[in-house]
Structure 1
Amino acid sequence: MKILKIFICLLLITCYKAPEKGAATGAILVESIGEFHRPESVVFSLDGKYLFVGNCASDLFGNDKKKVGFVSGAGAISRCVVDQKGNVTIEKLKFIKDLNGPTGLGILTKATENYPAGTLLVNQGMSLQVDKNGNSITNINELGVGVNFYDPSNGQLLGRILMGPGSAVAKAIGHVPLILNSLAFDKDGNLYITDTAYGGDRLDPKVSQHPGLIRIEHSSIDDPSKGGVTFTPISGVPNGIGYWEKEDAIVIVTMGGSDKLGGTAIYKVPASTFPMKEIPIPLFDNVGTADGIAVTPKGTIITSRFSGDLLAIPFNGEPRPLIMEPFVAPADHRLLTLNNGTSILAVPEQDRSDPNPWKQNVKIIRLPENF
């Protein structure tokens, strides 16, 4: 059955679009798991045995169905099992529940005094929260802005980094983050979080928006009041973030659009250059608004774009589309390299056009060795 499934996927991909000159080929859609609630982010456990999926519970409200809202308390984290061949199976759909718009997941790579390596991090408290009727939550003190830390074995809450009004982080960076979006760690365990910073106009009183990158030194994760918390403005509006291990660099995609400087860019920033007051020039510009970013062992950058496709950029190469059937709102994807040298890419689809919750997909893409 597995061979038949892969053959059918290959046939569908071939029928959909013939490879164009310069296009990236070799990727295969092997699974499409359609039981999630507007999944926005995913992350693999430190040992690669589990995939966590952030069900952000976003929806469209208003008579014209144009108001985006993340229903407070309706978010959840699913835990899936990943076998040695890269097959993914849902283990518990609501492993963690009652969350407020979980839009970024991460795994602690280096232990602190309070948290062991492998701890699951979940961004919380975005400004686009609504109640079940679509009414905006306008009190910034009720958003619960911060990062939650969970035991990945049982989902128990272990602690939080508070980022709301009066918190050590808000004081250090000079404002309250509005949309904590994506997470990454460098080799030293320093934590990086993008703030997309939309929705300040929904709050009462209105709050200024400061898109950029928050960095918390490893030594301050347990207690940010010790210092080591910095902020780098990114006018292009940052979205997904990742760590490129071989280059020891942080990579970031933006979503601000062509009307904002760097709004359709990919940044590559050496980790050794942080903290910094200004983001350097992009590695690539005019490559589309994007949500997620990951890097293969060979150094190929893969981004998920609002246009409904994936973009591949080989090391020292040029951007080219990844030939595959279209995605519906592909979001913050993550990559896992298997023992046989191949990799799987988990791509969540935050499909708000589907009126039925808990019917959206996470797609598993197989990438060949040396992709």
Structure 2
Amino acid sequence: MNDATPRETRIIGRVAGATNPESAELLDDGKTLIFGNCTMVMGNPHHRAGKSLVYLEGQAFMTQASFTGEGEVTVTRRRLVDGLTGTLGTEVHRKGTRLWPAGTGLTACGGRPYAKSLDAPLATVEEARQQIFAFDPLTGEPRGRIALWAGSPVARALGHHVEMPNGIAVAPNGDLYLADNPNTNPEAAEPPPVPSCVYRIPYESIDGLLEDDPAAAETVDAVEWTGWFNGVAASPLDGSAWVVTSSYHDPLNGAVIRLDADDFAAGRLPEPFVKDLGICDGAAVTRRGTVFATNPIAKEIFVFPADGSRQRMVIDGERLPVSNPADINVIYPSFLGGEPALTVGDICVGSAPEAAQVLVLDIAGL
């Protein structure tokens, strides 16, 4: 995006020693951070001749960390939840339901392509267990799951399963948004095994889905597109979904799109808020309506304040010190006194275990 002006930021928190951290979220105590380590590899011979990403079965995990002040973040439980696969999104459900309390942690996980090891065959459609996994973010205790795999009530209602759940968001009213990036064809990018969609799960249907109720699955809305979706965010202002597009065959060349309740009801993809950002990964929105999007290929984080300007984040005038900025979340740490910060999962594609990082950036005023 050539017309984006630099906007200075600074690092106010950093967690080192992560393993491909996709996204991080803050609990309402203003100090406890949770993030997923999705554990990915390059070189699996069964997926595009080893030239594309594959997740390792059962090797993803959730980590808990704590702010003790500005610039001070300490890991408190490295493996808060263990034995997961492809944790590609982290959220906190702040409203709660009959079956899980407010403050429950969520991760979108189980998506293909994954394998048991670097050289092992890929998991089949029948073996995969795509889901939204719920857990206690303080103890790691499981709190249920919403099944998205082939043969699940959601898959039967939609006519297809969710292939690679790769972004999750919670609206203020408790609705869930989920994006699918079905970049899993083992031979080539196209055709995808299922349609790429962004989904809306109504708050009132969550308990039914936790209990595999077919009637609850019928309420799930989907907006389909020929390109792929990736990260998704919920606006704290009006609850709308903000999703980014992410593929080499994207006719919008990397777009941020806002979807409201009418769009989901109609299955309609509206005109983009902005396009031509390149291959995007993460999206986030502040309480002031500032929109963020990441491009991990260009190593950029773009900023779109409510005043209509177009910016990109820099430190001392230089590009951010990140390898592959993935999902992002707006958080409000206690030490900032009500101002926002931005968590950045820097997944470091191709890196060794415990070689990646999560950054927290100052976005005060946005």
| TM bucket normalised to smaller | 0.7 to 0.9
| Aligned: 1:27 with 2:9 | yes
- Using a 3 Å threshold, how does the CA distance of structure 1 residues 77 and 111 change in structure 2: closer, same or farther? same
Instruction: Please show how residues 163-182 of structure 1 align to structure 2 within 5 Å.
Output: 163-182=148-167
* 1:129-208 alignment runs, 5 A limit: 129-201=114-186, 208=193
1:282 equivalent in alignment to 2:261: no
1:175-195 C-alpha deviation (Å, 9 max, x unpaired): 011100111122221111001
- The amino acid across from 2:27 in the alignment is S
- Closer, same or farther in 2 for the Cα pair 1:171/1:263, shift >3 Å? farther
Q: Distance in 2 between matches of 1:271 and 1:117?
A: 23
1:80 Cα shift? 0.7
State the Cα deviation string for residues 267-290 of structure 1 (Å, max 9, x = none).
012245432312111111112221
Mapped pair 1:357 → 2:357: no
- Does structure 2 conserve the Cα–Cα contact (< 8 Å) formed by 1:215 and 1:275? no
2:28 and 2:219 map into 1 onto residues whose CA distance is 25
CA distance in 2 between counterparts of 1:311 and 1:131 reads 36
Partners in 1 of 2:199 and 2:260 — Cα distance? Answer: 15
Which amino acid is the alignment partner of residue 229 of structure 2? P
Q: Take 2:286 and 2:203, find their aligned partners in 1: how far apart are those partners?
A: 25
1:305 aligns with 2:302: no
Q: Distance in 2 between matches of 1:223 and 1:97?
A: 26
Structure 2 vs 1, CA of residues 338 and 138 (structure 1 numbering), >3 Å: closer, same or farther? closer
1:253 aligns to what?
Answer: 244
C-alpha separation in 1, matches of 2:208 and 2:253: 33
Change (3 A) 1:200 1:176: farther
Q: Distance in 2 between matches of 1:283 and 1:207?
A: 25
1:177 is matched by which residue type in structure 2? V
- Which residue pairs with 2:312 in the alignment? 321
Match of 1:332 in 2: 327
- Residues 303, 32 of structure 1: alpha-carbon distance in 2 compared, 3 angstrom cutoff: same
The amino acid that maps onto 1:253 is: V
Change (3 A) 1:133 1:85: closer
2:69 aligned with 1:68, yes or no?
Answer: no
Distance in 2, matches of 1:364 and 1:158, equals: 28
Aligned length: 347
* Closer, same or farther: CA 95–148 of 1 in aligned 2, 3 Å: same
State the AA in 1 paired with 2:326. A
Distance in 2 between residues matched to 1:183 and 1:125, nearest whole Å: 13
How far apart are the structure 1 equivalents of 2:293 and 2:127? 33
Tell me how far apart the structure 2 counterparts of residues 214 and 117 of structure 1 sit (CA, whole Å). 22
Shift of 1:137: 2.5
1:217 shift after superposition: 1.1
Q: State the TM-score, normalizing by the size of structure 2.
A: 0.88
| RMSD of aligned Cα (Å) | 2.3
Task: Decide whether aligned partners of structure 1 residues 86 and 214 sit closer, same or farther in structure 2, where only a CA change above 3 A counts.
Answer: farther
Q: Residues of 2 paired with 1:171 and 1:218: CA distance?
A: 20
AA of the residue aligned to 1:363:
L
Task: Give the drift of 1:322.
Answer: 1.3
Runs of at least 5 residues in structure 1 that lack an aligned partner in the other structure? 1-19
Instruction: Provide the rounded CA distance (Å) in 1 between the counterparts of 2:93 and 2:157.
Output: 22
1:232 matches 2:223? yes
1:95 aligned residue:
80
Match of 1:126 among 111, 122, 126: 111
Structure 1 counterpart of 2:266, one-letter code: M
Contact 2:12 2:70 in 1 (8 A): no
Match of 2:362 among 356, 360, 366: 366
Equivalents in 1 of 2:259, 2:204: separation in Å?
21
Q: Is the 8 A contact 2:330 2:342 kept in 1?
A: yes
CA distance in 1, matches of 2:314, 2:22: 22
Q: Determine which of 242, 247, 259 is the counterpart of 2:233.
A: 242
8 Å contact 1:30–1:366 — kept in the other structure?
A: yes
Say whether the 8 Å CA contact 1:290–1:303 is kept in structure 2: yes
Alignment check: 8 A CA contact 2:173 2:239 kept: no
2:105/2:135 contact within 8 Å kept: yes
Aligned residues with identical type, % of pairs: 23
Alignment partners' CA distance in 2, 1:232 and 1:123: 18
Q: Which amino acid aligns with 1:361?
A: Q
Superimposed CA distance per residue, residues 156-215 of structure 1 (whole angstroms, 9 cap, x where no aligned partner): 11211111222110011110111001111222211110011121447xxx9722111122
Alpha-carbon contact 1:86-1:338 (below 8 Å) kept = no
Query: 1:16 maps to which residue?
Result: none
Preserved contact between residue 183 and residue 192 of structure 2 (Cα < 8 Å)? no
* Matched letter for residue 227 of structure 2: G
SS of 2:154 mapped into structure 1 = helix
- 1:80 aligns with 65
Q: Which runs of 5+ in 2 are unaligned?
A: none
Residue 4 of structure 1: aligned partner = none
Q: Which residue of 41, 62, 66 maps to 1:59? A: 41
Conserved? CA contact 2:25–2:331, under 8 Å: no
